[in-house]
Structure 1
Amino acid sequence: MLNIVTPSVLQPLCVDWADARQVSLYIKRDDLIHPIISGNKWRKLKYALLEAKQRGVAEIISFGGGHSNHLHALGYCCHQLGIQLLALVRGNYTANPTPMLRDLQQWHSRIIYLDKATYHKRSQPNFIASWQAAHPDALIIPEGGSQALALPGVAEILSEQESDFSHLLVPVGSGGTLAGLIQARQARHKNDLRLIGVATLKGEGYLEGLVNSLLPDSAYSNWHIEHRFHFGGYAKRSDELINFCDTFKIQTGIAIEPVYSGKTCWALKQLLAEGYFPRGSRILLLHTGGLQGAR
């Protein structure tokens, strides 16, 4: 019913950046697995939705901002699967709903707007328990879909790859994709693969904590998060970043946006210019989709 196309396309990344010819660059096109449920949003939702269908869940509750790629993908999935979505949204967009929120309305999702202070409680056990008590039969999925059930779906990214890489770059927002890759790398004994997360928001220490909270063992190594490329915070952008995204599409034919994929591509370009990667490195950039967030 959802028509997901996996494994996703793996292709060379041809750019004219400094030092790009000293390494081999590839991009995994998770943005192409579905026109709406793109990228890591499907990877993180796959097994949660399978469980919901097996249990006969009639309602799902989840959280996100007014441009949330997660809520957008989840709203479409719920509409297709006949499940009611209750979206708890940060901020009040009643007077000016975003394109994402208009889509949710079209897909018959229920939307409740929460003020900033209330939304800040979204991960607190008492807050979750109060919503569960009010909706005892509902399945609650955390912000961004990042939970234990997300990890096996993300792990399939590595199982799809026959080629070996020295480095993999991925954007980090709620931590689930990076955590799933860390765990999958360990399970597949690819410990020489260096995982580099690119922070899409201000959160040094906080983001590392989110990743570790999803892992059963905090001793996982050979990964880190770059915090220099968030451009001031989540969904923050500059004219320079927007122009970079536009130029990238012209040069490569691959659309990126300034919230997630644009910042990750920018980070790759800067790290290459700094000589971060040894000559001969094989580098994989994960395009996690989310292009609707740029509307």
Structure 2
Amino acid sequence: MPAPLAEHVNGQPAFTTIHDEILDRAGAQLRLYRLDHIPGALNGNKAFKLMPAVTEALRNNAFGLASFGGAWSNHLHALAAAGRAYGLKTLGVVRGDAHAPPGAMLEDAGRWGMNLHFVSRSEYRQRRDPDFLAQLQARFPGYCWLPEGGSDLAGVQSCAALGRALNNRLETGEMIILPCGTGGTLAGLLAGMAGGASSVQVVGYSALKGAGFLEADIRQWHAALEVTAALPGWRIEQRFHGGGYGKCNSDLQAFIAGFYRRHGVALDPVYNGKMLWGVYRQLAAGELQGKRITALHTGGLQGLRGYPDLLAEMTQMGFEGLQQGF
């Protein structure tokens, strides 16, 4: 494990305690586990998910790394950053129109050397089809291919370090929450907690609409990893996707801006913002009374650039977190 990640999980993790009236009224406590503070080219959960692939590619002298994503994909953005940092070629198979103006995320990826190959939505839906993947591999030889979101088995196993880091830092009945896309980080976190903090509850807040498939996917990863020790209680929270992946309504934007104004903590609108927006809506509805909550801040702040009005408002309040692309 690279030094910044090892220091983050083996040393004293970076926590930020949040103080808010709504928490006080509910008798609840909230702290953020700041994966967004990991230094280096990669931070957040992407550091854990991608480093095994980077390490394997370097070990095998592979030509580069390839994967899939949309025009605003955090994963492709992080993959391009990793390629630039570690001297690997990168290829992004992008769902979208090659002639459309590129967004800031793809501009970064291209500037960092990623080869962008655009496909139609119908083609993109074939990304798990072995024949379609074989065609891509024949057209772009020499790449190691990663699934959408970077949630392959090695990446999930790497995320287990997060669970092990938290096991001895939790109290009885504590609630651990994190945002979910593919569910790989949640699967790894649970695997790392297996046999440890059995008295806690883990909740993944889905950024996707219609995410009922995630529980089955997570169980499949655990079977592949041969996780046999007892897991803490866990579930997927599906009420706070805000309309679907990448959707950010005015209520969510106002919450993210207000959270930054009160606490100086930036949240992205795709994952972390939705998670904490959901928590605050639950608190307002009388849920989570007396809960001690640890929330994983998984990074991805570059996603703010998809919402220029929100980013401008936060910049006026002093936010400078995107000066280096993250």
Q: Does the pair score TM above 0.5? A: yes
Return the match for 1:172 from 169, 172, 180. Answer: 180
Percent identical pairs in the alignment equals 34
Return the match for 2:131 from 123, 126, 145. Answer: 126
Letter paired with 1:267: G
Structure 1: which 5+ runs fail to align? none
Deviation at 1:278, TM superposition (A): 5.1
Report Cα offsets for 1:47-97 as digits up to 9, x if no partner. 121111111111211011111111111101111211111100111153310
1:49 is the counterpart of 2:54: yes
Letter paired with 1:209: A
Distance, in Å, in 2 between the alignment partners of 1:218 and 1:202 is: 28
1:206 is the counterpart of 2:213: yes
1:185 is the counterpart of 2:196: no
Higher relative contact order (CA 8 A, sep 6+): 1
Look up the SS of the partner of 1:215 in the other structure.
helix
1:73 is the counterpart of 2:84: no
Report Cα offsets for 1:245-278 as digits up to 9, x if no partner. 0000011110002111100001111223344335
Residues 62 and 143, structure 2, Cα contact 8 Å, conserved in 1: yes
Structure 2 counterpart of 1:254: 265
Deviation at 1:43, TM superposition (A): 1.2
Distance, in Å, in 2 between the alignment partners of 1:209 and 1:40 is: 21
Distance, in Å, in 2 between the alignment partners of 1:178 and 1:81 is: 27
Look up the SS of the partner of 1:71 in the other structure.
helix
Distance, in Å, in 2 between the alignment partners of 1:207 and 1:146 is: 12
Output the aligned Cα RMSD.
Answer: 2.2
The normalised TM-score by structure 2 is 0.83
Distance, in Å, in 2 between the alignment partners of 1:241 and 1:4 is: 32
Structure 2: which 5+ runs fail to align? 306-326
Structure 1 counterpart of 2:148: 143
Letter paired with 1:104: A
Return the match for 1:229 from 240, 245, 264. Answer: 240
Shifted more, 152-161 versus 239-248: the winner is 152-161
1:107 is the counterpart of 2:107: no
Letter paired with 1:292: Q
Return the match for 2:169 from 163, 167, 175. Answer: 163
Aligned length: 292
1:287 is the counterpart of 2:297: yes
Look up the SS of the partner of 1:160 in the other structure.
helix
Structure 2 counterpart of 1:82: 87
Deviation at 1:284, TM superposition (A): 0.3
Shifted more, 213-222 versus 114-123: the winner is 213-222
Call closer, same or farther: CA 1:272–1:35 in 2, change over 3 Å: farther
Residues 19 and 272, structure 1, Cα contact 8 Å, conserved in 2: no
Look up the SS of the partner of 2:153 in the other structure.
coil
Letter paired with 2:217: L
1:98 is the counterpart of 2:103: yes
Which structure features the higher share of helix residues?
Answer: 2
Letter paired with 1:61: A
Structure 1 counterpart of 2:314: none
Distance, in Å, in 1 between the alignment partners of 2:65 and 2:289 is: 46
Letter paired with 1:55: N
Residues 26 and 286, structure 2, Cα contact 8 Å, conserved in 1: no
Residues 19 and 275, structure 1, Cα contact 8 Å, conserved in 2: no
Deviation at 1:175, TM superposition (A): 1.1
Dislocated runs of 4+, deviation >6 Å: none
Distance, in Å, in 1 between the alignment partners of 2:276 and 2:70 is: 23
Structure 1 counterpart of 2:254: 243
Look up the SS of the partner of 1:204 in the other structure.
coil
The normalised TM-score by structure 1 is 0.91
Look up the SS of the partner of 1:62 in the other structure.
strand
Distance, in Å, in 1 between the alignment partners of 2:62 and 2:210 is: 34
Distance, in Å, in 1 between the alignment partners of 2:196 and 2:77 is: 34
Residues 185 and 193, structure 1, Cα contact 8 Å, conserved in 2: no
Distance, in Å, in 2 between the alignment partners of 1:126 and 1:214 is: 23
